[in-house]
Amino acid sequence: MDIERRIDTCMDAESNEYIHARIDACMRGRVPLRCTRSGCPFWVLAVPTVDRVADRRTRRSSLVADEQRVRHLCGILDVKLHGFFAGTCNRGRMRMLAFLGPVTVHSSQCSRARYLRRLTGRVSRCAESGLFGERCKRPSWSKGPVVGRKVVRPSTGQQGAILRLRATWASTSTGHNTDAVEEQKRSRAGHPRVRVQRLYAEAAHYLEPANAYVHIKGWVRTVRDQKQFAFVQVNDGSNVSGVQVVVDGSLPSFHEVTQLTTGCSVAVLGYVRESPGKEQPIEIHATSVELIGSVSSEYPLQKKRHSFEFLRGIAHLRPRTNSFAAVARIRSALASATHTFFQSMGFIYLHSPIITSSDCEGAGEMFRVTTLPPGAGDDQADFFGQRVSLTVSGQLSAEAYACALGDVYTFGPTFRAENSNTKRHLAEFWMIEPEMAFASRDDAMDNAEAYVKYGVSFLLDKQWEDLQFFDRFIEKGIVQKLEMTRDLPFARVTYTDAIEILFKSKEKFEFRPEWGADLQTEHERYLAEKHFQRPVFVYNYPAKIKAFYMRSNDSESNAEGRRTVAAFDLLVPGIGELIGGSQREERYEMLLSRMQELNLNPDQYWWYLDLRRYGTVPHAGYGLGFERFVQYCTGMDNIRDVIPFPRYPGHCDF
pLDDT of residue 57: 58
Domain shared by 107 and 22, yes or no? yes
Span 437-495, pLDDT tens digits: 999 999 999 999 999 999 999 999 999 999 999 999 999 999 999 999 999 999 999 99
Buried b (16+ CB within 10 A) or exposed e, 346-363: ebeebebeeebbbbbebe
- The answer as to whether 650 is a domain residue is no
Question: Within a domain: residue 327?
Answer: yes
Tell me, what's the pLDDT at 90?
39
DSSP secondary-structure letter at 490?
P
Predicted pLDDT at 60: 57
CATH of the domain at 484: 3.30.930.10
pLDDT at position 100, please? 44
Whether the per-residue pLDDT at 583 is higher than 60: the answer is yes
- The chain-wide mean pLDDT, for the chain, equals 79
From the CB of residue 182, how many other CB atoms can be counted at a distance below 10 Å? 10
In a domain, 649, yes or no: no
**Judgement on whether residues 124 and 211 belong to the same structural domain of the protein:** no
Among the residue ranges 28-32, 291-295, 546-550, the one predicted with the least confidence is 28-32
- Whole-angstrom CA distances from 568 to 62, 493, 517, 540, 571 are 85, 10, 15, 6, 10
**Cα 629 from Cα 430, distance rounded (Å):** 10
In the predicted structure, residue 506 carries a pLDDT above the cut 90: no
CB 347 within 8 A of CB 435: no
Measured CA to CA, the distance from residue 345 to residue 616 in angstroms comes to 23
Check: CB of residue 542 under 8 Å from CB of residue 516.
yes
Query: What pLDDT score does 620 carry?
Result: 98
User: Are 153 and 263 in a shared domain?
Assistant: no
Phi, psi of 328 (to 5 degrees): -65, -40
For 138, counting Cβ atoms within 10 Å of its Cβ (0-12 exposed, 13-18 middle, 19+ buried), the class is: exposed
Q: Tell whether the torsion through CA atoms of 432, 438, 440 and 445 is positive or negative.
A: negative
Average pLDDT over residues 540-546: 95
Q: Same domain for 359 and 473?
A: yes
- Residue 197: CB atoms within 10 Å: 18
Beta strands per DSSP E along 573-618: 576-583
Residues 85-122: tens digit of each pLDDT: 444 443 444 444 454 443 333 223 343 344 344 434 33
User: How far is the CA of 251 from the CAs of 69, 167, 211, 519, 529, in angstroms?
Assistant: 36, 22, 22, 66, 57
Q: What is the DSSP string of 5-16?
A: HHHHHHHH-S-H
Question: Same domain, yes or no, for 109 and 226?
Answer: no
pLDDT band at 207 (very low <50, low <70, confident <90, very high): very high
% of the chain surpassing 70 pLDDT = 69
Neighbours of 613 (CB within 10 A): 8
Report how far residue 524's alpha carbon sits from residue 530's, in angstroms, rounded to the nearest whole number: 10
Q: State CA 567 to chain mean position distance.
A: 37
Residues 262 and 284 reside in one and the same domain: yes
3-state SS, residue 208: coil
Q: Which of 243, 268, 302 is the last residue of a domain?
A: 302
What are the residues facing 433 on neighbouring strands?
A: 410
Instruction: Quote the pLDDT of residue 365.
Output: 83
| Cβ–Cβ under 8 Å, residues 566 and 553 | yes
Q: Write phi, then psi, for 505 (nearest 5 degrees).
A: -70, 160
Give the pLDDT of residue 261.
Answer: 94
pLDDT at 189: 56
- pLDDT greater at residue 68 or residue 152: 68
Q: What is the pLDDT of residues 590-647, one digit of tens each?
A: 999 999 999 988 998 999 999 999 999 999 999 999 999 999 999 999 999 999 999 9
Contact 533, 506 (CB under 8 A): no
Alpha-carbon gap, residue 564 to 545, rounded angstroms: 9
Q: How confident is the model at residue 71 (pLDDT cuts 50, 70, 90)?
A: low
- Region 239-245: what's the mean pLDDT? 95
How far is Cα 327 from Cα 630, in angstroms, rounded to an integer? 8
Confidence of residue 67 (pLDDT cuts 50, 70, 90): low
What band does 69 get if pLDDT is binned at 50, 70 and 90? Answer: low
Please state, in angstroms and rounded to a whole number, the distance separating the CA atoms of residues 80 and 2: 24
Q: In this structure, are residues 456 and 485 in contact, taking their beta carbons and an 8 Å threshold? A: yes
The predicted-structure confidence for 141-167, as pLDDT tens digits, reads as follows 454 444 445 554 544 544 444 444 444
Quickly list DSSP for 262-320: TT-EEEEEEEEEE-SSSS-SEEEEEEEEEEEE---TT-S--SS---HHHHHTTTTTGGG
The pLDDT-based confidence of 192 (bands split at 50, 70, 90) is: confident
Q: Give the separation between CA 295 and CA 264, rounded to whole angstroms.
A: 6
Please state the rounded mean pLDDT for residues 321-327.
Answer: 97
Mean pLDDT for the stretch of residues 505-511: 92
Q: Check residues 95 and 343 and name the one with the higher pLDDT.
A: 343
- Report the number of distinct structural domains present in the chain: 3
Both 563 and 487 in one domain: the answer is yes
Of 129-138, 201-210, 525-534, 563-572, the one with minimum mean pLDDT is: 129-138
Q: pLDDT tier at 227 (50, 70, 90 boundaries)?
A: confident
Find the domain containing 291 and state its range: 187-302
pTM above 0.85, yes or no: no
Q: Which amino acid is at 454?
A: Y
> Is the model more confident about 250 or about 611?
611
Q: Is residue 308 part of a domain?
A: no
For range 580-591, the mean pLDDT = 96
Same domain, 408 and 514: yes
**Three-point CA angle 125, 126, 127, nearest 5°:** 100
Residue 124 has pLDDT above 80, yes or no: no
Q: Is residue 311, in this structure, part of any structural domain at all?
A: no
Q: How far apart are CA 638 and CA 161, in angstroms?
A: 57
Q: How far apart are CA 117 and CA 134, in angstroms?
A: 12
Do the domain assignments include residue 27?
A: yes
> Does residue 198 sit in the same domain as residue 157?
no
282 lies in the same domain as 328: no
pLDDT digits (tens, 9 = 90+) for 262-276: 999 999 999 999 988
Asked if 523 and 585 sit in the same domain, the reply is: yes
Last residue of some domain: 158, 178, 198? 178
Contact 142, 126 (CB under 8 A): no
Residue 81 lies in a domain: yes
Write down the pLDDT at residue 47.
44
Coil vs helix vs strand at 241: coil
Q: What is the CATH number of the domain that holds 294?
A: 2.40.50.140
pLDDT of residue 443: 98
Say which range, 83-92, 196-205, 290-299, 549-558, has the weakest mean pLDDT: 83-92
**Angle at the Cα of 27 from the Cα atoms of 22 and 30, rounded to 5 degrees:** 145
Taking Cα atoms as reference points, which of 86, 89, 93 lies closest to residue 50? 93
Does residue 275 contact residue 206 with C-beta atoms inside 8 Å? no
pLDDT at residue 404 tops 90: yes
Q: How confident is the model at residue 128 (pLDDT cuts 50, 70, 90)?
A: very low
pLDDT level of residue 406 (50, 70, 90 thresholds)? very high
* Mean local confidence (pLDDT), 302-322: 93
Asked if residue 238 lies in contact with residue 197, where contact means CB atoms within 8 angstroms, the answer is yes
Residues with Cβ < 8 Å from 653, sequence gap 6 or more? 315, 645
Of the candidates 272, 302, 332, which is a domain's last residue? 302
d(CA 488, CA 528) in angstroms, rounded, equals 13
Q: How far apart are CA 114 and CA 106, in angstroms?
A: 10
Angle at Cα 4 formed by Cα 78 and Cα 65, nearest 5°?
Answer: 65
- What is the C-alpha separation between 220 and 108, in angstroms, rounded? 26
- 409-442 pLDDT, tens digit each: 999 999 999 898 889 899 999 999 999 999 999 9
Residue bearing the bigger pLDDT, 183 or 428: 428
**Residue 476 CA to chain centroid, in angstroms?**
23
Model confidence at 562, pLDDT cuts 50, 70, 90, reads: confident
| Integer Cα distance of 604 and 359 in angstroms | 9
Examine residue 379 and state whether it is found in any structural domain, yes or no: no
- 286 and 239, same structural domain? yes
- The kind and range of the H/E element at 221 are strand 213-225
Strands (DSSP E) contained in 321-400 are: 348-350, 355-356, 368-369, 388-390
Over 90: is that where the pLDDT of 337 sits? Answer: yes
Strand 355-356 relative to strand 536-542, pairing: unpaired
